[in-house]
Amino acid sequence: MKKAVALSYKKEKPEVPRVVAKGTDDVAEKILDIARAHQVPLYEDRALLQKVYSLKVGESIPEELYQAVAVLLAWVYSLDKKEAR
């Protein structure tokens, strides 16, 4: 079964990242298609996915997942820096 979760985080207006979409199979594929169409980087971490997938859409990332999500955000920021060069 394919799963996907989309998170939203705005570094200009710092707040806790939140789940904005999640789904399995066809819904997961649609989430991935939309991300690709908008050139959103895709990050694969099955352990993090399982933890974040248990959250409801609209729910903020809980404190116990801050470190794991920080690793994800650092990866995204590193991509931004590479593209800026």
**Cα(first)–Cα(last) distance of the chain, in Å?**
38
pLDDT digits (tens, 9 = 90+) for 50-82: 999 999 999 999 999 999 888 888 888 888 666
Closest CA to 10 of 84, 60, 82, 83: 60
| C-alpha 68 chain-centroid distance | 11
Find out whether 5 and 32 touch, Cβ atoms under 8 Å.
no
Confidence of residue 83 (pLDDT cuts 50, 70, 90): low
Residues composing the chain: 85
> Does this model's pTM top 0.85?
no
| pLDDT of 85 strictly over 60 | no
What local confidence, expressed as pLDDT, does residue 2 receive? 95
* Residue ranges in the chain assigned as alpha helix (H): 25-37, 46-53, 66-84
Domain residue spans in the chain?
3-84
Q: The domain 3-84: what is its CATH number?
A: 3.40.1690.10
pLDDT digits (tens, 9 = 90+) for 1-35: 999 999 998 877 768 899 999 999 999 999 999 99
